[in-house]
Structure 1
């Protein structure tokens, strides 16, 4: 079974079992919904601990969560450093031109003439639009904005993306 990162527990918050999470999901309202199940992966433990979200709120740059049955700081201190994940069967279908990061990562990028530009190795979230780091076999990385004017076709099954680079984008 495939697992996908949702966030990392970086600390506790207060004394009532709340944890501070650095989120790595585009869907915090869905992933952290009350009653949703998240799997906690901890270093040195073979199997994940399944947790049920009891509360969720945002504070500064963090998502603050509590879990059913974990009511004190002492009970959740051991979660620090753990990674919250969901399984592949918890993924929901996305609309039109939306993709999960794991679907884009590793795709080979080509220009309109079919010349290979490189492979998507990272995705940066800028607020306005995502920017893909495309690493060629040789040379420096390129930063491709995920906008309609540039990205023309995405074939997830073939792991192939076709772009029409703006002037200066690949230099």
Structure 2
């Protein structure tokens, strides 16, 4: 299974380094020297990481064969894709890979059906489940412990305890994933923030605090 783990940003310096927008919570594992990554667009890769370092809080990578600023700049906005064993699980029991949660049923504590997860949006403040309701509308469910009370992978369902207005009354909470992504791009037009959005985001999520 392939997961997007990073997006290449602008060139840094003149020796082929690039800034990287990390899309994984395990950069040491996914983005270490020697890692061979597929790319999107596919013709750009595969790319092999030669060196990596942190500079001013941002990860810088150099790839084999990329030796100058022009070559590094040509990689800008390329997605880096890692091959991951579908059976692999995060070390933290409170974390889940996106693919584990996609298409799970979302229900209330009494079994009332809300919908199913069609996307996971990774925003700077929290992760959101984009849930498609039976009528085709969408609702955004914050992945925080006060709201998401149970995740049962065996039963393929998530139980939620939504606050008043989250599901039925607040139009502000009902939006498409494209709207959520657009808002993030407006806030970070260069696309260089540490948190990504939508399906090419961090490859796993962690339940947060409200």
TM-score range, shorter chain: 0.7 to 0.9
Cα distance change on mapping 1:82 and 1:156 into 2, 3 Å: same
2:112 equivalent to 1:140 = no
2:110 equivalent to 1:113 = yes
Provide the TM-score with structure 2 as the length reference. Answer: 0.65
Q: How many residues align?
A: 167
Q: As a proportion of its length, which structure holds more strand?
A: 1
Aligned equivalent of 1:73? 69
- 1:98 equivalent among 95, 98, 118: 95
TM-superposed CA distance for 1:36, in Å, is 4.7
Larger deviation: 90-99 or 137-146? 90-99
TM-superposed CA distance for 1:89, in Å, is 3.5
Aligned equivalent of 1:64? 60
Partners of 2:128 and 2:34 in 1: CA distance: 30
Higher relative contact order (CA 8 A, sep 6+): 2
What are the within-5 Å matches in structure 2 for residues 78-93 of structure 1?
78-89=74-85, 93=90
Provide the TM-score with structure 1 as the length reference. Answer: 0.78
Partners of 1:50 and 1:139 in 2: CA distance: 40
Q: Which runs of 4+ in 1 moved over 6 A?
A: none
Give the gaps of 5 or more residues in structure 2: 169-210
Give the gaps of 5 or more residues in structure 1: none
Q: As a proportion of its length, which structure holds more helix?
A: 2
